[in-house]
């Protein structure tokens, strides 16, 4: 069951936003995996999708409900959706490098959303989990750069 009683409403909204961001990111990674034929690329991107799904699930422990629509216009989710849509468009028009670059940009926004929330929840029961998620995002960003370089060399 959700343990949201100790959080301000704004914090709960931000946690719900992170759930949505992670779900959107997972979908973006899955879409990207379908774009590539290289087994290494597909495996890494699917692993990243699975990690974002795990992150969304762990965040749900702190949020009773995740509203379907974002609570703020111009939210991180809206920006992420634009970057993911750009990535999807690149599948049809751009290079493998372009697809990975678009996903990297989307991941920067997720990282920003986490860091923004982390500033406001320091010392709470969610802090350690957010730090772990941030660590995974940064590792995935490094892997995306390596994959982009790998594609460039191929």
Q: Which residue has the tokens 């940064």?
A: 138
pTM (predicted TM-score) = 0.81
User: Is 86 among the domain residues?
Assistant: yes
Q: Give CA–CA dist 106/99, Å, rounded.
A: 11
**pLDDT at res. 136:** 97
User: Is 4 among the domain residues?
Assistant: no
Number of H helices, E strands in the chain: 5, 0
CATH code for the domain of 128: 1.20.1260.10
Domain of 28 in residue numbering reads as 9-153
Please count the structural domains in the chain.
1
Query: Would you state the structure tokens that stand for residue 84, as one six-digit string?
Result: 């993911």
User: Is 119 among the domain residues?
Assistant: yes
The CA–CA distances, whole Å, from 115 to 16, 23, 38, 120, 133 equal 15, 18, 33, 9, 10
For the stretch 137-142, contacts whose Cβ atoms lie closer than 8 Å and that sit 24 or more positions apart, written own/partner, are 137/107, 137/110, 137/111, 138/111, 140/48, 140/51, 140/107, 141/104, 141/107, 141/108, 141/111
pLDDT tens by residue, 97-126: 778 888 888 899 899 999 999 988 888 889
**For residue 37, is pLDDT > 70?**
yes
User: Is 3 among the domain residues?
Assistant: no
User: Is 1 among the domain residues?
Assistant: no
**For residue 82, is pLDDT > 50?**
yes
Mean pLDDT of the chain: 81
């Amino acid at each position: 069951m959700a343990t949201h009683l100790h959080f301000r409403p704004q914090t709960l909204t931000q946690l719900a936003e992170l759930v949505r961001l992670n779900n959107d990111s997972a979908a973006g990674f899955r879409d990207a995996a379908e774009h590539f034929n290289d087994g290494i690329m597909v495996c890494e991107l699917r692993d990243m999708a699975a990690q974002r799904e795990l992150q969304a699930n762990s965040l749900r422990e702190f949020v009773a409900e995740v509203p379907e629509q974002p609570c703020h216009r111009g939210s991180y989710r809206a920006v992420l959706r634009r970057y993911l849509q750009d990535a999807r468009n690149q599948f049809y028009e751009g290079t493998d490098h372009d697809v990975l670059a678009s996903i990297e940009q989307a991941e920067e926004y997720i990282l920003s959303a986490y860091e923004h929330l982390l500033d406001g929840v320091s010392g709470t029961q969610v802090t350690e989990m957010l730090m772990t998620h941030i660590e995974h995002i940064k590792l995935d960003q490094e892997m995306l750069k390596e994959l982009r370089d790998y594609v460039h060399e191929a």
